[in-house]
Amino acid sequence: MLIKCPHCGTRPVEEFTFNGDASIQRPTSNDPATMDQWFDYVYLRDNPKGRFDEYAHHSSGCRAWLVVTRDTQTHEIFNVVTARDYAKKRVAS
């Protein structure tokens, strides 16, 4: 598989390390009442078939965390953005 890093261009998958679903967001509250949200965030993951936003660290490259949007069935990659831009866009929306 080849991944197009926004900084480094198209690079082989071996240069990347993966860290699962990027669509879930770390809760911000420390209120004990939010424990269920935290539990979901830390432990619960979907295993979707099809389009999936996934964290990928360009660990043997520029060291940027990226969000790769990929079809889990065909491995077609639709989009790659930095995790930074992904997070900022999420805050904005």
Site for other proteins contains 57 (CB under 8 A): yes
DSSP 13: G
Q: Which residue in 6, 20, 35, 78 binds other proteins (CB under 8 A)?
A: 35
C-beta atoms surrounding 21 within 10 Å: 15
Residue 67 near residue 53 (C-beta atoms within 8 A): yes
Contact indicator for 7, 81 with CB cutoff of 8 Å: no
92 touches other proteins (CB under 8 A): no
CA distance 53 to 66: 10
66 token code pair: 């990226």
* List 30, 46, 47, 93, residue binding other proteins (CB under 8 A): 30
The residue within the footprint of Zn ion, chosen from 23, 38, 41, 62 (CB under 5 A), is 62
Chain positions contacting other proteins, by CB under 8 A: 1-2, 12-13, 17, 19, 22, 26-28, 30, 32, 34-35, 38-39, 41-43, 55, 57, 59, 63-65, 75, 82-84, 86-88
